[in-house]
Amino acid sequence: MKQFDFAVYFNIYAIFCILFFGIYFSRIYVGNFKRIGLFVSFLLLSYCLIFIDILSKKFLPQLGILVALFYIFSAILWFFQKLKLPVQGKITNDPNFWIATALLFWSTYIIFRFTPMYLFEKEDQFFLSILRKIGSVVNLIMYALFYYALLKYEAIAKDLNK
């Protein structure tokens, strides 16, 4: 019995992530930052849909790297915007800080993980298994940071309702 390959779902998920976070960050960017963010999102989505076979039965590490680079770009653009605009309160009270931090953290690991993935599969299975375990910890931290951002959003909503 042949085992089902989930690679096509990961490829489609990567496109969804670019679309989702492109829209998410476009709502919090202002002025030129918004135009830059939307342009990069549109450019990357167009590139992926035209030049990458997202329905491939094989996981495409280049798509994962593109998503990671998009996350890094979006997070750094948000941090740059935050530094350029007048500050209202602590940056750590902004839920977007935690989301941008989570994406930046995850992306830096994923680039290290995806780039040599097939080399390690052939040359060093032990190190690849360690990277997979580290990846689980990185994912857990990222989702914990997302959860903390949700708590920050909840606190802001409670303050607005007072």
Q: Where are the chain's structural domains?
A: 7-161
Share of the chain above pLDDT 70, in %: 96
State both tokens at 60. 């495409």
pLDDT digits (tens, 9 = 90+) for 41-63: 999 999 999 998 888 888 888 89
The H or E element spanning position 7 is: helix 7-28
Q: CB count, 10 Å around CB of 70?
A: 24
pLDDT at residue 98, rounded to an integer: 98
Which residues have C-beta within 8 Å of that of residue 55, sequence separation ≥ 6?
Answer: 8, 11, 12
Tell me how far the alpha carbon of residue 42 is from its chain's centroid: 16
Which pTM was predicted? 0.89
Closest CA to 120 of 110, 106, 130: 130
pLDDT band at 4 (very low <50, low <70, confident <90, very high): low
State both tokens at 87. 């500050």
pLDDT digits (tens, 9 = 90+) for 5-23: 688 898 899 999 999 999 9
